[in-house]
Amino acid sequence: MRPWKHVFSVLRSHCLLLYKDKREAVLHGAGAGLGHGEDEHPPISIRGCLIDIAYSETKRKHTLRLTTQDFCEYLLQAEDRDDMLGWIRVIRENSKTDNEELGFSRQALISKKLNDYRKQTTTGNKPDTSPRAHRMMPPFLLAKTDNAFMNRSSSKDESKGPWGIIMKKAKKTGPKVFGVRLEDCQPAVNNKFVPLIVELCCGLVESMGLEYTGVYRVPGNNAMVSNLQEQLNRGLEINITEEVCVCVCVCVCVCVCVCVCV
């Protein structure tokens, strides 16, 4: 893992360029951006990359993690939360590609990352200390240059594992629904990208709570919510006709808890 460095980042097309400061970025200009200081800060290709908030990075705020197609991982720290979400948004938009080969490579990247995570969750002993904050959609931001802190950890580093950075780990006796990664949740019947419990709760709200006043404002009974959460985490079968499920406010609270935890 390399030390943190203060850099000035510029996103051009499918490349993230890193400069010492804004003056250097202006001097190189738009035409010479790809040929600057490659030994110190080579351009980072974002084609088909993975980009998200670095939840496991608890020492630095507003940090995002970028994983490239060649399995190199970067940590970038923005100036504030809005700036971080803006970078995530524009990098995702510019990382899209119609190239079939890169599409398969991206799927392989996701599969490898998920497999590495699962290996760590089965062998790791450290408790989960990463923040539980839910992921929010960023506001409308323009793709402008800005300051960022850059840290690179390559899969070629012999002293580290394939990913270098310790990812979020689950407890040995981890829950089944709450506090687990979205990929590990039981998928819904109609949409594999939505957790089953979310589909179930939304269905109950649609069938019984559309005429209910304050369905998202009035909290459900804490005891009933906690009891339903415990049953779901233990993997017990839930009867949706029971009183605890018929209560629309309880279903809404459980659905919100799932969205926050994942």
Q: What is the extent of the structural domain holding 45?
A: 5-153
Q: Which of 121, 47, 57 is nearest to 91 (CA)?
A: 47
CATH number of 223's domain = 1.10.555.10
Burial class from Cβ neighbours inside 10 Å (0-12, 13-18, 19+) for residue 107 reads exposed
pTM beyond 0.75, yes or no? no
Same domain, 129 and 187: no
CATH number of 96's domain = 2.30.29.30
Q: Are 191 and 202 in contact (CB under 8 A)?
A: no
Is position 59 within any domain? yes
**Residue 142 pairs with which residues in a beta bridge?**
none
Same domain, 92 and 201: no
Arithmetic mean of pLDDT, 12-28: 86
Is position 191 within any domain? yes
Helix (H, G, I), strand (E, B) or coil at 177: coil
Q: Are 90 and 76 in contact (CB under 8 A)?
A: no
Arithmetic mean of pLDDT, 78-96: 90
Same domain, 16 and 83: yes
Is position 203 within any domain? yes
Q: Are 165 and 153 in contact (CB under 8 A)?
A: yes
The total domain count for the chain is 2
Say how many CA atoms lie within 13 Å of 28 toward its Cβ. Answer: 19
Is position 83 within any domain? yes
Same domain, 98 and 223: no
Residue 260 has pLDDT above 50, yes or no: yes
**Residue 7 pairs with which residues in a beta bridge?**
148
Is position 167 within any domain? no
Q: What is the pLDDT of residues 179-223, one digit of tens each?
A: 677 777 778 777 778 888 788 778 777 777 777 777 767 777 777
Pairing of strands 15-19, 44-45: antiparallel
